[in-house]
Structure 1
Amino acid sequence: MTHQRPDHTDRPPADASMSLLNEIMRNPLDLGYSAAARRRTRQDLAGASKTSSHMSRVVVLVVSLALGVTTTMAIKELRARDEVISSARTLLVDEITERQETRASLEELAAQRQQSVDQLRSQILEEQEPELISQVTTDQLRSGVLPVQGPGVKITVRDGSGADLDANRRVHDADIRVVVNGLWSLGAEAITINGQRLTTTSAIRSAGAAILVDLTGVSAPYRIEAIGDPDVFDQQFPTSAAAEQLEALNDSFGITWEIERQDAISAPAGSNRSLIHASPVTDESS
């Protein structure tokens, strides 16, 4: 009898029988569970992003509030300082104004008393030595302690543009002195600077940014009026050394000037300064 081997052709392969198990091993969760897990992950990420955005907004709000408070406090402090500075400036201006008014009153009183002294002196001279009256009057006119009037010129000198930022563009006391000396050299008989009469003992100097004539402050524009021959001033001053310096100042710093004829100039009496150290020369001292 012939032994026949069993026919295994009808039996499924081992892999086919393990397909379900393999599928379970490869995909332990079905599609529904996987989709749900992915949605939950996206929601968690979105929630975290919203939380982070909310925290960022809170931080920005806190920082903005802190900056606002700091800025407000700084502004209040600056305003307080400005108020203090403004108050101090106001007090200083008021004090300067008050002292200027006091000085003006004292000058007026001194002028009145000087006029009384001059009248008394004239009366005495008329009685005792009438020939000296003319000499005294001439000396007073030359020294600048008597008011005078007459024709002449007015020279106006102005600061250059930007003088507040550049001191070189401001008119200095030396510039005024140059103009005054130029007018004296051309025969001026009386000179005023912004209404302040120059005498034989007058001084033109600076105090910081201000220009003082004797002890009185003057400011730009500077009006220098001179009594004398208008024709001489018109013809000779524009070619003088003083005019050359003014032109140089104009070219370098924009300082401007102009000269005008005046038919009538009034020059008030200057202050009669007492001499402390000087005394007349006598025959014995010579």
Structure 2
Amino acid sequence: MTSSSTSPPGAERPRRVLRSGLARTASAGVFALAGLIFWVSFNTAQGTDLRSDDPMLRLPDLIAERSRENGTLESSTAELREEVEALAEERDEGRSAAERRRAEQLADTAQTEEVSGAGLTVTLTDAPSDATARLPGWPEPEPDYLVIHQQDLQAVVNALWAGGAEGIQVMDQRLISTSAVRCVGNTLILQGRLYSPPYEVTAVGDPERLREALDRSPAISTYKQYVEAYGLGWEVEGHDDTTLPGYSGPVDLQYAEPLD
């Protein structure tokens, strides 16, 4: 999964267009830059191995380790939240019915409460790595055409919200107002956790309205062209009854601060 994509002629995604003269010029520049990098690397290394066993320098391993740590922290947070809720229930015994209803409405809005009901699950899957064009007029695929992109998942989530979803879960993560679907390379990072395809998005709501919202989305229509052309996965499964757990992670906003 990547945050940007290319596409064949006629599709809505942007496409790289290379003209022969420009390509030759760019290739010469790339080879010159590669030679410069090799020369600098050789002089910097002075015969030493530039690889390192330091785990802090292995970014994929670091991301995976942080994902596991976040999973452990989420479990601890969920247990603490249950204790807090039990104490809050004891305290709320003296509150009025109106105050209790208000508290329940706020919990629903914050997506911290379990939600159950009819709904559906959308599953998106990468195409086979050896896929070929299935439709007349479509070019043979580049690797970029065969993977799920960030905008594909975002389109599904946005369509389900527009269709009146009461709650949405991506993989095993309940979404809240600050949740962001982001990709690094070919993987999804959601709320500090790392995921690989196939990707499942489950929503609770009126299944008919949710399906209609999916069908109305222009971005999903584009994705479906790639499903037909190259074999990307698309499946929508309805549920008579499904349950999404409440969000149990931290709710503090994360932001950067400038150094002194």
- Out of 218, 241, 249, the position equivalent to 2:195 is 218
Q: How big is the shift at 1:227?
A: 0.4
Q: Is 2:235 the counterpart of 1:258?
A: yes
Distance 1:258 1:186, change over 3 A: same
Partner letter of residue 71 of structure 2? A
Residue 251 of structure 2 corresponds to which residue in structure 1? 273
Q: How big is the shift at 1:114?
A: 1.4
Residue 153 of structure 2 corresponds to which residue in structure 1? 176
Residue 118 of structure 2 corresponds to which residue in structure 1? 151
Task: Give the secondary structure class of the aligned counterpart of 1:123.
Answer: helix
Q: Is 2:206 the counterpart of 1:229?
A: yes
Give the root-mean-square deviation of aligned CA atoms: 3.2
Q: Contact conserved, 1:148 with 1:269, CA < 8 A, in 2? A: yes
Q: How big is the shift at 1:122?
A: 3.0
Question: TM-score, length-normalised on structure 1?
Answer: 0.58
Find runs of 4+ consecutive structure 1 residues off by over 3 angstroms.
91-102, 251-254
- Out of 82, 102, 105, the position equivalent to 2:69 is 102
Larger RCO: Structure 1 or Structure 2 (Cα < 8 Å, ≥ 6 residues apart)?
2
Distance 1:120 1:177, change over 3 A: same
Q: How do residues 58-73 of structure 1 correspond to structure 2 at under 5 angstroms?
A: none
Residue 122 of structure 1 corresponds to which residue in structure 2? 89
- Out of 198, 205, 209, the position equivalent to 2:182 is 205
Q: Contact conserved, 1:159 with 1:220, CA < 8 A, in 2? A: yes
Distance 1:171 1:269, change over 3 A: same
Q: How do residues 21-100 of structure 1 correspond to structure 2 at under 5 angstroms?
A: 99-100=66-67
Task: Give the secondary structure class of the aligned counterpart of 1:162.
Answer: coil
Distance 1:209 1:97, change over 3 A: closer
Task: Give the secondary structure class of the aligned counterpart of 1:146.
Answer: coil
For the residues of structure 1 that align with 2:61 and 2:210, how far apart are their CA atoms?
A: 41
Residue 19 of structure 2 corresponds to which residue in structure 1? none
Residue 138 of structure 2 corresponds to which residue in structure 1? none
Distance 1:224 1:116, change over 3 A: same
Structure 2: gaps spanning 5 or more residues = 1-48, 132-141, 256-260
Q: Contact conserved, 1:144 with 1:190, CA < 8 A, in 2? A: yes
Q: How big is the shift at 1:220?
A: 0.9
Distance 1:109 1:139, change over 3 A: same
Q: Contact conserved, 1:155 with 1:257, CA < 8 A, in 2? A: yes
- Which digits, 9 at most, give the CA deviation of each residue in 1:94-129, with x for residues without a partner? 876655443322211111111222222233233245
Name the stretch that deviates more: 205-214 or 219-228: 205-214
- Out of 228, 249, 267, the position equivalent to 2:226 is 249
Distance 1:276 1:212, change over 3 A: closer
Q: How big is the shift at 1:156?
A: 0.9
Give the count of matched residue pairs.
193
Name the stretch that deviates more: 151-160 or 243-252: 243-252
